[in-house]
Structure 1
Amino acid sequence: DAIAIAARAIKAGEANLVIAGGVESMSRAPYVMGKSDNAFGRSQKIEDTTMGWRFINPKLKELYGVDTMPQTAENVAEQFNVNRADQDQFALVSQQRTASAQAKGFFSKEIVAVEIPQRKGDAVVIDTDEHPRASTTLEALSKLKPVVKADGTVTAGNASGINDGAAALLIASDDAVQAYNLKPRAKIIASTAVGVEPRIMGFAPAPAIKKLLKQANLTLEQMDVIELNEAFAAQALAVTRDLGLPDNSDKVNPNGGAIALGHPLGASGARLVTTALNQLEQTGGRYALCSMCIGVGQGIALIIERV
Structure 2
Amino acid sequence: MLKVNRFSIIHLIGKRNLSSTNIKDDQTYIISAARTPIGCFRSKLAQFTGPQLGAIAIQGAIERSTIITKDLIEEVIMGNVRQAGVGQAPARQAALGAGLPVTVATTSLNKACASGMKSYQILAQAIQCGQIDIGIAGGQESFSNVPFFLPRGDLPYGGIKLIDGLQFGFTDVYYKKLMGACAEHTAKNMNISRAEQDDYAKRSYELSAQWASKVTELEIVPVDIPATKKIPNHKFGEDEEYRRVDFSKFSKLKPVFEPKNGTITAANASKINDGASAAVLASGRAVRKYGLKPLAKIVGFADAAVDPIDFSIAPTYAIPKLLEMTGYKQNDIHLWEINEAFSAVVLANLRLLKIDISKVNIRGGAVSLGHPVGMSGSRIVNHLALHLEPGQMGVAAICNAGGGASALMLEKMYN
Q: TM-score, normalised by structure 2?
A: 0.66
| Cα distance change, pair 285–20 in 1 and its aligned pair in 2 (3 A) | same
Structure 1 match to 2:130: 13
Structure 1 match to 2:199: 89
C-alpha distance in 1 between matches for 2:246 and 2:411: 34
- Any idea what the Cα deviations from partners look like across 1:15-43, whole Å, max 9, x if unmatched? 1111000100012122234557xxx8969
1:58-207 paired onto structure 2 within 5 Å? 61=173, 64-102=174-212, 104-118=213-227, 123-133=233-243, 135-137=245-247, 139-150=248-259, 151-207=261-317
C-alpha distance in 2 between matches for 1:240 and 1:49: 32
- The one-letter code of the counterpart of 2:387 is Q
8 Å Cα contact 1:193/1:208 also seen in 2: yes
Structure 1 match to 2:334: 224
C-alpha distance in 2 between matches for 1:228 and 1:134: 23
- The one-letter code of the counterpart of 1:185 is L
Runs of 4+ aligned residues of structure 1 deviating over 4 Å after TM superposition are: 33-36, 40-46, 119-122
Please say which of residues 172-181 and 291-300 is displaced more in the overlay.
172-181
Given candidates 386, 392, 408, the residue that maps to 1:278 is 386
Note the C-alpha offset of 1:202.
1.4
C-alpha distance in 2 between matches for 1:12 and 1:188: 14
- The one-letter code of the counterpart of 1:222 is D
8 Å Cα contact 2:135/2:281 also seen in 1: yes
| Cα distance change, pair 45–289 in 1 and its aligned pair in 2 (3 A) | farther
| Cα distance change, pair 265–51 in 1 and its aligned pair in 2 (3 A) | farther
Q: TM-score, normalised by structure 1?
A: 0.88
Is residue 372 of structure 2 the alignment partner of residue 256 of structure 1? no
Where structure 1 has 5 or more consecutive residues not aligned to the other structure, the ranges are: none
C-alpha distance in 1 between matches for 2:161 and 2:175: 17
8 Å Cα contact 1:225/1:279 also seen in 2: no
Note the C-alpha offset of 1:182.
2.5
Is residue 393 of structure 2 the alignment partner of residue 297 of structure 1? no
C-alpha distance in 2 between matches for 1:4 and 1:79: 32
- Any idea what the Cα deviations from partners look like across 1:195-235, whole Å, max 9, x if unmatched? 11111211111111111111111011111100111100111
Structure 2 match to 1:269: 377
Given candidates 271, 281, 288, the residue that maps to 2:394 is 288
- The one-letter code of the counterpart of 1:298 is G
Please say which of residues 114-123 and 147-156 is displaced more in the overlay.
114-123
Note the C-alpha offset of 1:133.
3.7
C-alpha distance in 1 between matches for 2:238 and 2:402: 32
C-alpha distance in 1 between matches for 2:371 and 2:391: 25
| Cα distance change, pair 66–181 in 1 and its aligned pair in 2 (3 A) | farther
Structure 2 match to 1:49: 165
C-alpha distance in 2 between matches for 1:175 and 1:215: 24
C-alpha distance in 2 between matches for 1:13 and 1:45: 51
| Cα distance change, pair 45–119 in 1 and its aligned pair in 2 (3 A) | closer
- Any idea what the Cα deviations from partners look like across 1:62-102, whole Å, max 9, x if unmatched? xx323211111111111221110100000000000001001
C-alpha distance in 2 between matches for 1:277 and 1:88: 29
- Any idea what the Cα deviations from partners look like across 1:255-301, whole Å, max 9, x if unmatched? 000000101000111100111122204xx561010000111111110
8 Å Cα contact 2:295/2:386 also seen in 1: no
- The one-letter code of the counterpart of 1:245 is I
Structure 2 match to 1:22: 139
The alignment partner of 2:285 has SS state of helix
The alignment partner of 1:50 has SS state of helix
| Cα distance change, pair 199–3 in 1 and its aligned pair in 2 (3 A) | same
Aligned residues: 292
Q: Over aligned residue pairs, what C-alpha RMSD do you find?
A: 2.3
C-alpha distance in 1 between matches for 2:195 and 2:309: 23
The alignment partner of 2:166 has SS state of coil
- Any idea what the Cα deviations from partners look like across 1:124-171, whole Å, max 9, x if unmatched? 11110001146532x421111000122100100000010000000111
C-alpha distance in 2 between matches for 1:268 and 1:178: 30
C-alpha distance in 2 between matches for 1:17 and 1:219: 30
| Cα distance change, pair 10–44 in 1 and its aligned pair in 2 (3 A) | farther
C-alpha distance in 1 between matches for 2:176 and 2:204: 29
